[in-house]
Structure 1
Amino acid sequence: MRLTIASGVSAFTAALLLSPLFQGGGWFWTSLGAVLAVVAAGLLSSRLSLPAWAAPLVGLAATWMYMTAVFASEEAWALVVPTKGSVLELARLLGVGWADIQRFAAPVPETEGITLLTAGGVAIIAITVDLLAARVRRAALSGLPLLALATVPATILTEPISWWAFIVAALGFVSLLIADGRERVGHWGRAVLVRRTRQAAPAASATSGSGGSADTTAMRLSGKRIGFAAILLAVLLPAALPAMEPVSFFTFGVGGRGSGPGNSISIANPIASLKGQLDLPERRVVLTYSNDDQKPHYLRIYALDTFDGQQFGMTQPKGAPQNRTENGPLPEPPGLGPEVKVNNVVSNIQISDEIEQLQFLPLPYPPREIRVDGDWRADVDTLMVFSTREEAAGIQYDVSTSEPEPTADLLDSLDGIRPEVDRRFLALPGDLPPEVGDLATKITADAKTTYDAALKLQEFFTKPGNFQYDLRTQGHSGSALRDFLIRDRVGYCEQFASAMAVLARMVGIPSRVAIGYTGGVQTGDRWEVGTNDSHSWPELYFEGVGWLPFEPTPSGAAGQGSARVPAYAQPRPTATPGTSSTPTPGASSSSADEPQNPATRRNPREVDREGTVATGILPPDDSMPLIGKIGIGAAALLLVLLIPAGLRLITRNRRVRSLGWKVSQPADELTARMVSGRDQLTVAAAWAELDDVLYDYGMAREPSETPRALARRLIQQYEFDAGSAAAVTAIASAVERVLFARDPGRIEPMSKDLRKVRQALAITVSRGRRVRAVLLPPSTLRRLRMLGERLLDGFDLLETIRLRRTAAQKG
């Protein structure tokens, strides 16, 4: 019976780990009722002495009746007896609940279907635990189904399991193990539950020897200590240990293949998030930023590089430890050569607190260096900056960027250079409608260079009358792409960006789709970006320049109002006679206006000899250096280690102050009582301080020693001089008079006597023992240990009360 109840308790405490998955608490009470039904079924099985295989069947029947009463009582007979209608109703709710789980992200709303699935799953776990612990008597093995229940939130949620829920669940499992141990020991005789004291030990031993009972106190106390210590270490130790990095042959990814749960995060569907923000009825501020060029900049979050024929997706980014933002400059922007003029900008970005589940940083492209708190890493291929441990909500960070500003002549001169990028940026499925390929060929038929082809693709979308901007779209599929390009020509930024990226790949230009925010609107000295600024745009790759954004989405009142076309993507100016379009070598070789030789061009990441940062680089970090942080950590650790010494010092000072009280001759009976009480406090303080001094120096007093015997032993064993001998004798005499004399007489202040005894004892021990007595006093550690034992005695008291009630009922 005890194991059945303990099994239910452990199953329900483990179910508390599911709380972060739900928005409300209705599942809690429904699951509690399901566990109680299983416990009631288990008690009935034990009462009827049913075989082990029959108990789970009774538990399933009880769970079925409970679910019927809660979710399908109107179709049941007498509210609880299942009928055909109630079975169909439960089946319908199960289907609805399964569909809801696939549709919602955690924390999920508490629909009837989801609550039914949760309560049923908890009940099945409870039945399994009862079978293993109470029927098969394998309590330790019952931890496996409990662990399976705990893995549900661990695999779904990005945040770690809350410490309080873990402690409650672990205590539930420990209680099951304790109950199983008591059942096993109880087969040898009646368990005698007494407090663990030296006085009770002989009596318990005698009882065990005469009556055949087993004293299990020490065994149970040891088991509890192990269980509680394991739980405490499991909670505190991970917080003290540094984060471990994966070995090189384990990929560090964001939900990538082969990456463990600790190295992965969930990525919300960027397309769905984009459409959801654009559909919001009112504008909400997402972030604000300021920069040193006072110009708006696109802020990219995701770079989608794979196309499956229906929509673009994202390859899981990888961030090695050396690519942490705290390590300095990020990896070089892919394809960016020294001949390109760059605009070095430093921006300060503040993310709104209302952003949820965002583990990527909105950044201008390409970021060169980022100063942000937390473990943020850069993907080498795309320069997306993400984290597996942090969230972007509410954080503020500085980012330095080098935005390329190529000229049309430079881009024309790059024609014919083979792009050195991954082939995935050119990959297309083989089942695309042939009309799409024909359209790409037709649009770029007159293009003289690759750059000219990109301009013609962009112009195809932005030319007045060709396309209309509308959030009402036909979805994603190969036919939807064909209809958008050829027939309907109505869509929003995601359709425009994806369609241009697909057409670019068809004509041999590497492309990808970026999702983030446009520059927003300026408010004071900062730019304010709202949900209506959510945007998607294509990025095309040119060897020697790298990735460049283009803007095919119609701007102004007919489309994305805050979208802007980059200067290099503007329509070509009409050529006039006498002008030359031949590019001048070195005309755009640096961020300065004057040309420079590429061989002597200064790297924008370079730090000069004086330690100042080159133009556009983040200013020096004024934060505390690493050695300072190490020093603060060491000081904090030292303070923690000195806590026992501080407690000992406080206790000693309090006692010494009481030892200095001077007591005058009492004038009446009331004053005499007050004097007597103060005498007792003074003597008690002196005796307690002497006891702690002896324990700190390794000279602990024997339990059977009287004060007079202790004084005699100290004088003889440690050869006290006359003054020290008189002092310890005076303390012992005062203690005996207070304890045994009807009228103890006048008690003199004992601070001097105690000081003499402490000095006499200190010279008899080694220096190491004296240092330990000051820095890590054993007497204080003994009190902490005794406090833990009193907590364990509290558990024993509860068990004792329970056994007494059981014995009374039997009597």
Structure 2
Amino acid sequence: MRLSIAAAVATFSSAILLHPLFEGGGWFWGSLGAVVAVLLASLISGRLSLPPWAALPVSVLALGLYLNVSFAAEEAWALFVPTTDSVLEVARLLATGWADIQRYAAPVPANEAITLLTTGGVGLIAIVVDLFATRLRKAALAGLPLLALVTVPATILTEPLSWPAFVIAALGFTALLLADGRERVGQWGRAVLVRRTRTTSAGPRPGATADTRGLSLSGKRIGFAAIAVAVTVPALLPAMEPVSFFTFGVGGSGSGRGNSISIPDPIANLKGRLELPEPRVVLTYANSDNTPRYLRIYALDTFDGDQFGMTQPEGAPENRTDNGPLPPPPGLGGGVQLNNVRTSITISDQITKLSFLPLPYPPRQIRVDGDWRADVSTLMVFSTRDEAAGLEYDVATSEPAPTARVLDSSPTTRQGIDERYLALPDDLPQEITDLALDETRGARTPYQAAVRLQRFFTDTGGFAYSLRTQGHSSSALVDFLVRSRAGYCEQFAASMAVLARVVGIPSRVAIGYTGGTQIGGRWTVGTNDSHAWPELYFEGVGWLPFEPTPAGTLGQGSARVPEYTQPRPEATADPSSPTPDETTGGDSEQEAGPQNRQNPRELDREALLADGGLPPEESTPLAARIGIGAAAVLLVLLIPAAIRLVTRSRRIRTLGWKMSRPADEVTAKVVAGRHPAVAAAWAELDDALYDYGMAREPSETPRRLARRLTEQYEFPAEAAAAVTTIASAVERVLYAREPGEIPPLGGELRTVRKALAATVSRARRARAVLLPPSTMRRLRRLGEGVLDGFDRLENIRLRRTAAQKGA
């Protein structure tokens, strides 16, 4: 019975470590119920003396019944007996729970599905722990399944484990080991309680047991010492980044709960901002080259035939912005000139519910407060805990600046590009397909096709900008492209992205802001600068923005056509057929640069070390950090010396007291041995002797101690008289009816201390000051008292008295 209870306690103590992973307490009570169910099954198996192979199915059955009653009672017969429907319901919830934890970032919402998954997992751990500890009598091996409960939060969370929770888990496992040891000893007979007793100056207390400190339970000492070391040592060591074995992303807007990120409808919000009667400031920024740039917030990559949507971003712990450089931009390789730019952005504090950072693309390094993470495939930076309102952050970008020749020679084979960037619905109207093929007819490369499509919207197609046109369905898309040809930026961006996919160019729609207006050395971006534009993918260069929205129109005055899509003055009339004169000089400059190196990680380092990288944060020099660490260690080591100094100072103040009271006032104190000055002198002398390795024998009287010190260490006359005075005062307080006047003993005590110090080595004196054994003795006694308390708890027995038995 003891082992079953200890196994259940150890399991639930370790399960407490899971609390940072969840919101709410449903998982807590569910897990507690699962552990109790396994405990009851273990007690029944023990009562029936079942073998291990039979006890295991009993525990599994008990856990299954508990899960059935807790999560599928409505489908069960009589709310208890499992049925096919209840089993299928439990299986469905398990599958849903597994899918949910893959979508949410910790702490996840403790909904029914996730609670069932957690409860079942903790219950299985409880079964394995009980099997090892109770049935197989391998309590030490039970630590392996318990370690799984520690590993999950340790590998998912970026923050260290809560040390109180760790201590509770460690104590639970230690209790299991102690219970196993007690069970083994109990097979040989009744365990004997080991008590550590103290002795007085006159010998052992009357009725006290013999000193049995040598027989103290080493297991408790080792266990508590290991827990203390495990908690304190990591605090003195440098922090290490956790390794994530689980990939957790963020939930969608449909969940509306937990730590899922709330993603509003970017397209609806975009049109709403453009229709505001008065523009409002959204953000301001300044950059190192004083050039306006588009600031992207969202990247919409899926097209369902009606409108573009966004795949849920995923941000693993290793992709946090404070971990250094972000993942490399997809598709960017060597042979492309990079413009390194530093940008400082300030978000207005009036912005609400914005969990994505407006950023120039592609961001390479971000310095921002909070838990912000980058989605690897899109480099959107988001947070499940923080919002962007009022935030100030710095961004380092390495923007590709390709020439027309580089883009024209881009490989048609695409490595690692997801098929969702080319996906189109099967019922896409034929008019859209025919239009895309007609406008790109004659284009020899994807780049030439992209330039033709952009020119179709901005020049040759006869399009006009208007906020009145609405609708996102395929019929609205056909109407915009074929008939009305009037719309706002979202329709231009989505239409060009669709046409690009038709001709085989991967595309997506970016939503954010244009560069804004320069005011007083900073660029100011308002709601009227809200914008959407397409991004097209070219192998070796990556994702590039295009601008199909006609410039100079209401609300899009800061829209600009990228330079790599514009013909040069000496170019031919057809910008889709660039001549060698358009691109000469670009490649020769690129051959020698570090950006031609094919290693993306090496490219990252080069970019960050260039002028466009963020300047290093001011940090404490290495020598200073080493000095601070050494000082901290020294302060910890000096704690015993500080305790000894405080104790000695308190006693010295007491030594100045002079006791000369009438007998009727001091008799009670004398009898009780509580003369403050004498007690302080005697305690200080006892500690000094212990510090110098001359500890007083338990059977020595004060007079005998004074004689031994004088003879053994050849005290001079002054020191001999001083120690005799102290001993005489102690004896008078202890035994005399009227001790009379006792003068202050501070001078005598100082004389004796000097005499004692003169008889020992310099090393011994240094140890007495820096690491006094008397203080360590007190700390050891404190620990022994704690161990005695556990000993007494373990030996509590419910007994019937003789009177009760007779009754």
TM-score, length of structure 2 as denominator length = 0.71
Q: Does structure 2 conserve the Cα–Cα contact (< 8 Å) formed by 1:455 and 1:569? A: no
Q: Does structure 2 conserve the Cα–Cα contact (< 8 Å) formed by 1:501 and 1:513? A: no
**Structure 1 pair 363–189 and aligned structure 2 pair: CA distance change class (3 A):** same
Q: Does structure 1 conserve the Cα–Cα contact (< 8 Å) formed by 2:297 and 2:511? A: yes
Match of 2:55 in 1: 55
Matching residue's letter, 1:692? D
Matching residue's letter, 1:276? I
Q: Deviations over 1:766-788 (max 9, x none)?
A: 22222222222232233223222
How much does 1:656 deviate? 0.9
How much does 1:185 deviate? 1.0
- In the alignment, does 2:711 pair up with 1:716? yes
Structure 1 SS opposite 2:52: coil
Match of 2:127 in 1: 127
Q: Does structure 1 conserve the Cα–Cα contact (< 8 Å) formed by 2:411 and 2:539? A: yes
Match of 2:739 in 1: 744
Give the counterpart of 2:642 among 640, 646, 653. Answer: 646
Give the counterpart of 2:765 among 766, 770, 776. Answer: 770
Paired with 1:44 and 1:76, the residues of 2 have a C-alpha distance of 24
Q: Does structure 1 conserve the Cα–Cα contact (< 8 Å) formed by 2:410 and 2:538? A: no
Match of 2:17 in 1: 17
**Structure 1 pair 501–352 and aligned structure 2 pair: CA distance change class (3 A):** farther
Structure 2 SS opposite 1:141: coil
Q: Does structure 2 conserve the Cα–Cα contact (< 8 Å) formed by 1:303 and 1:515? A: yes
Q: Deviations over 1:48-86 (max 9, x none)?
A: 333433333443444455445545666767765x264xx
Paired with 1:349 and 1:637, the residues of 2 have a C-alpha distance of 41
Q: Does structure 2 conserve the Cα–Cα contact (< 8 Å) formed by 1:305 and 1:513? A: yes
Q: Does structure 2 conserve the Cα–Cα contact (< 8 Å) formed by 1:306 and 1:314? A: no
Match of 2:656 in 1: 660
Match of 1:185 in 2: 185
How much does 1:183 deviate? 0.5
Match of 2:600 in 1: none
- In the alignment, does 2:224 pair up with 1:237? no
Give the counterpart of 2:264 among 271, 277, 287. Answer: 277
How much does 1:488 deviate? 14
Written as runs of structure 1 = structure 2, the 5 A alignment for 1:352-751 is 363-365=359-361, 396-401=392-397, 411-412=403-404, 414=406, 417=409, 423-424=415-416, 442-446=438-442, 452-459=448-455, 464=463, 499=498, 502=501, 506=504, 517-518=512-513, 537-538=534-535, 540=537, 548-551=544-547, 564-568=559-563, 623-663=619-659, 665-666=660-661, 669-670=664-665, 680-751=675-746
Q: Deviations over 1:236-273 (max 9, x none)?
A: 3334333568xxxxxxxxxxxxxx94487644489999
Match of 1:790 in 2: 785
Paired with 1:810 and 1:515, the residues of 2 have a C-alpha distance of 86
**Structure 1 pair 586–196 and aligned structure 2 pair: CA distance change class (3 A):** same
CA RMSD of aligned residues (A): 6.3
Q: Does structure 2 conserve the Cα–Cα contact (< 8 Å) formed by 1:666 and 1:672? A: no
Q: Deviations over 1:511-546 (max 9, x none)?
A: 67686843598899786799x979784155598x98
Q: Does structure 1 conserve the Cα–Cα contact (< 8 Å) formed by 2:76 and 2:85? A: no
Paired with 2:239 and 2:125, the residues of 1 have a C-alpha distance of 33
Written as runs of structure 1 = structure 2, the 5 A alignment for 1:77-88 is 80=80, 82=81, 84=83, 88=85
Match of 2:95 in 1: 98
Paired with 2:753 and 2:108, the residues of 1 have a C-alpha distance of 66
- In the alignment, does 2:159 pair up with 1:162? no
How much does 1:661 deviate? 1.5
Q: Which runs of 5+ in 1 are unaligned?
A: 209-214, 246-259, 475-480, 590-596, 604-612
Say which is worse superposed, 61-70 or 682-691, in terms of deviation: 61-70
Paired with 1:239 and 1:749, the residues of 2 have a C-alpha distance of 46
**Structure 1 pair 100–401 and aligned structure 2 pair: CA distance change class (3 A):** closer
Matching residue's letter, 1:278? D
Q: Does structure 2 conserve the Cα–Cα contact (< 8 Å) formed by 1:553 and 1:563? A: no
Written as runs of structure 1 = structure 2, the 5 A alignment for 1:212-231 is 221-231=217-227
Q: Deviations over 1:118-167 (max 9, x none)?
A: 43443333233223222221222222333334444455555554333332
Structure 2 SS opposite 1:684: helix
Structure 2 SS opposite 1:691: helix
How much does 1:689 deviate? 1.8
**Structure 1 pair 395–667 and aligned structure 2 pair: CA distance change class (3 A):** farther
Structure 2 SS opposite 1:53: helix
Q: Does structure 2 conserve the Cα–Cα contact (< 8 Å) formed by 1:334 and 1:547? A: no
Paired with 1:642 and 1:390, the residues of 2 have a C-alpha distance of 41
Matching residue's letter, 2:30? T
How much does 1:659 deviate? 1.0
**Structure 1 pair 14–220 and aligned structure 2 pair: CA distance change class (3 A):** farther
Paired with 2:385 and 2:148, the residues of 1 have a C-alpha distance of 26
**Structure 1 pair 114–577 and aligned structure 2 pair: CA distance change class (3 A):** closer
Q: Deviations over 1:607-654 (max 9, x none)?
A: xxxxxx998776785554443333333333332332222222111111
Matching residue's letter, 2:59? G
Paired with 2:592 and 2:123, the residues of 1 have a C-alpha distance of 73
**Structure 1 pair 324–145 and aligned structure 2 pair: CA distance change class (3 A):** closer
Q: Per chain length, whose mean CA-contact separation is higher, i.e. which structure has more relative contact order (CA < 8 Å, sep 6+)?
A: 2
How much does 1:219 deviate? 7.0
Q: What percentage of residue pairs aligned between the two structures are identical? A: 50
Q: Deviations over 1:711-743 (max 9, x none)?
A: 223222322211112222222222222223332
**Structure 1 pair 366–43 and aligned structure 2 pair: CA distance change class (3 A):** closer
Structure 2 SS opposite 1:196: coil
Q: Does structure 2 conserve the Cα–Cα contact (< 8 Å) formed by 1:458 and 1:552? A: yes
**Structure 1 pair 799–127 and aligned structure 2 pair: CA distance change class (3 A):** same
**Structure 1 pair 623–155 and aligned structure 2 pair: CA distance change class (3 A):** closer
Paired with 1:776 and 1:49, the residues of 2 have a C-alpha distance of 55
**Structure 1 pair 452–134 and aligned structure 2 pair: CA distance change class (3 A):** closer
Paired with 1:773 and 1:472, the residues of 2 have a C-alpha distance of 84
Q: Which runs of 5+ in 2 are unaligned?
A: 255-259, 274-279, 304-308, 596-608
Written as runs of structure 1 = structure 2, the 5 A alignment for 1:109-128 is 109-128=109-128
**Structure 1 pair 512–449 and aligned structure 2 pair: CA distance change class (3 A):** closer
Say which is worse superposed, 650-659 or 626-635, in terms of deviation: 626-635
Structure 2 SS opposite 1:801: coil
- In the alignment, does 2:344 pair up with 1:347? yes
**Structure 1 pair 690–550 and aligned structure 2 pair: CA distance change class (3 A):** farther
- In the alignment, does 2:260 pair up with 1:291? no
Q: Does structure 1 conserve the Cα–Cα contact (< 8 Å) formed by 2:194 and 2:216? A: no
Structure 2 SS opposite 1:140: coil
**Structure 1 pair 32–471 and aligned structure 2 pair: CA distance change class (3 A):** farther
- In the alignment, does 2:197 pair up with 1:197? yes
How much does 1:217 deviate? 8.9
Structure 2 SS opposite 1:290: strand
Q: Does structure 1 conserve the Cα–Cα contact (< 8 Å) formed by 2:465 and 2:550? A: no
Q: Does structure 2 conserve the Cα–Cα contact (< 8 Å) formed by 1:460 and 1:466? A: no
Structure 2 SS opposite 1:277: coil
Paired with 2:330 and 2:267, the residues of 1 have a C-alpha distance of 37
Matching residue's letter, 1:173? F
Q: Does structure 2 conserve the Cα–Cα contact (< 8 Å) formed by 1:289 and 1:350? A: yes
Match of 1:607 in 2: none
